[in-house]
Structure 1
Amino acid sequence: MAWISLITAGLFEVVGVMGITLMNKRGGIFSFFVLFIGFLCSFSLLNVAMSSISMGTAYAVWTGIGTIGSAVVGIVFFKEPADKKRLFFISLVILSVIGLKMYA
């Protein structure tokens, strides 16, 4: 259950980052709502996950999911560049998160 909470927390972090991007591009109450709800859910679920998963592992996985998800959302929805170097380093983050899961 803790790992499901952690993964969901990471996904909500992506929602919060999308809210930040929307605030910068459009502003408005909807953008603020996306930002607020995204981070509120993310931090709440991270708190639940850290009751069973060590702080270092939980934070690294949460941050990794947020980093990867934000980069992918930026590429897909906000037309950010998807060059080979960027994709290479995103894959390194993915491998690092998998390594932490396997050996933590």
Structure 2
Amino acid sequence: MAQTFLTPSEVDHLVADYEAGSGVLELAEKYGIHRATVFAHLQRREVPRRRPGLNDQEQAEAVRLSREGMSMRAIGRRMGVDRKAVRALLINAGVVNDEQWTKI
């Protein structure tokens, strides 16, 4: 894989996109870099990290995918979060019942 270097201007845009709400995976794809590189650029610029998880739009998408029959693991992989984060979201959204998970 070819290494991609961002110009200072591109890093400025990356930081602005992140601060405007873009996710790390989205930025990695947009700028053609690894997600760890996105975090490295943000750290160098001393940009505070957001709490990991899904934004409102991503949460709605995860609920939709679950209702269409996609597994929590598949949703997590697709959205770049852990299966446990998807499970917590679906319980909070009332899509799955927490009691059914305590019996497993």
TM-score (norm 2): 0.26
Q: Which has the higher helix share?
A: 1
TM-score (norm 1): 0.26
